[in-house]
Each structure stands twice: as C-alpha cells, then as structure tokens.
Amino acid sequence: MTTGGDLRGFLTSRRAALTPEEVGLPSPATARRVRGLRREEVASLAGVSVHYYVKLEQGRAGNVSGQVLAAIARALRLDDVETRYLRSLLQPGRHPAPAPPRARPALRSMIGALDVPAVIHGPHLEVLAVNHAGKALLDDFEAMPVAERNTAKWMFLNPRARVVYRDWARIAADVVAVLRAGPADDALSRIVGELSTRSAEFAAFWADHRVAEHQHGVKRFFHESVGDLTLNWQTLHLPDSQGQSVIVYSADTGSPSEEKLRLLASWTATPAPVTS
C-alpha cells in the first residue's frame, strides 16, 4: 500500500520527529504551532529549493536522483531501513503480489530440530512454519486457517497475543513498522486494508509511518504454565528465499527463564517414533 499519501505522511512524520537544535539550526525565536522541522528547514539542510522539496513531499517531483535522495535522508536523519523505504516510495509503479511464499523443507527440518522456539516468516510476516517450542510459547499457527497465519493479523485480531506479550503495545507498534518495511505489493495492500478496517489500534500505528527491520532484542513473555519469561530474539535473514527470515528465541544461560523455557519445550515436544 504505497501511495503519494504514504510518501507525504512518511516525510511529514520524520520532520515532526526532529527539532532545529537536533540538526544544528538556531532555536526558534517564538513558539511553533507545529512541532518538528519546517519544510524550508529540511530544504536548506538538503541543499534543494523549498519549491522542489514541497513538490517532492507531495509526490510531484518526478524522478528523484540518488544524490537528492541521499541529501534528504541525511537532512531527516534517516537510518538505513528508513532510507530504503523512502527509495521504494519514490520509485513509480506498483507490483502485483508474487506467489505465496513457502518455506523450504530443509528450513522446516532445521527449526524442527531446535529445542528453543523458532518461527519462519515470509516477507509480510506470514508464518510459514513454527516448531513445537514456538507453538507452546506463542500459538499454534499451523492449526489456523492459512489466511490467518500472519503475525500482524495475530497481533491485532487474536486475544492470545495480548496474553503472550507483556509489552503488547510496544511490540505491536514494532510489528507494524516491520510490516511497512516489506515489499509494496498487492499482498501488503490486502493485509493493511483488512487490519485497518478491523483494528483501530492497527490503523493508529500505521498512521505513525514508522519503518523498522526485524533484527534482535529482548522481549517479555507470559505462559500460563510457567509464568513470566524474558527471552532474547535474533532474526536470521535468508538469502534467495523471497524475503523469508527465521526468528529464534533463547534465554540467558543459567537464568530462571532458561529453566522455564526448557520445561515448556519438554512438555510440548513430539515423542520420537518407536523403532523395533
């Protein structure tokens, strides 16, 4: 769902997140009605005319050179993920959704061999596979209809997510930011359209125009059988896999969460077949 409104909203939100002092400009002599940088200040920092920047923000600038894009990114203090997103907004045309992604059997076997939770995601947070520990910690996505096997949909439409995540609002906002950074195609439009009409919270987060990439961090979880867990998560981006990634969750060695996670995994493990 990439439109001129997305470009305007994204640039406006990035301007609003900065103050003149943060970018080395003099403090305003009087209070401003609108927070953040003005268009003329961004234009000055980027070395372009105000007229050109206004046209760019409105999606009327036509072909934007890499040099200008880099200058705008520097002026707005965009990180690498935000800069890539801005570049995608400035590229004309839309893209039809590719065939639904499928996890390779070898990847499924890999996460199935792990004793810690692991999930394979598609480019729009489709849950392509989840191992037994992941089902125990999060939810049994493989028991859901295929159309519902999506972390963004689960986060906002399934009450289970608010039980699992102790910091639901923060995690939910991050999920929306990651979803926005995905490929701008018809599949994204369908997901965003559905969630915007079914969840006011999603619509509010989407309007923030945040962009992020799944990388690594720490999250707090809750499970009825073992209580609270604090787990590390790490994303492994897979080359030549249609934007797929694997997220693996683990606990600090020797921590109470490690023992709880071990218990959780042992209770949900699939017994090995008996051979004679």
pLDDT digits (tens, 9 = 90+) for 15-28: 998 888 888 877 77
39 near 53, Cβ under 8 Å?
Answer: yes
- CATH 3.30.450.180 domain range(s) in the chain: 105-268
Q: What is the largest CA-CA distance in the chain?
A: 85
Q: Please give the distance of CA 45 from its chain centroid, rounded to a whole number.
A: 29
* CA 206 – CA 200 distance, rounded (Å): 10
State yes or no: pLDDT of 137 exceeds 90.
Answer: yes
Q: Is the pLDDT of residue 180 over 60?
A: yes
Q: How far is CA 104 from CA 99, 111, 233, 237, in A?
A: 14, 11, 22, 14
Q: Is the pLDDT of residue 237 over 50?
A: yes
- For CATH 1.10.260.40, the residue range(s) in the chain are 4-90
- Domain covering 4-90, topology: 434 Repressor (Amino-terminal Domain) (1.10.260)
Mean pLDDT, range 79-92, rounded to an integer:
86
Better-scored residue on pLDDT, 268 or 253: 253
Q: CA-to-CA distance for 82 and 69, rounded, in angstroms?
A: 12
Instruction: Please give the Cα distance from 137 to 224 (Å, whole number).
Output: 10
Residue given tokens 């399934």 in the structure block: 158
In tens, the pLDDT along 65-74 reads 889 999 999 9
CA gap 41, 195 in Å, rounded: 35
Task: Check if the beta carbon of residue 130 is closer than 8 Å to that of residue 142.
Answer: yes
CATH architecture of 105-268: 2-Layer Sandwich (3.30)
Return the pLDDT at 262: 92
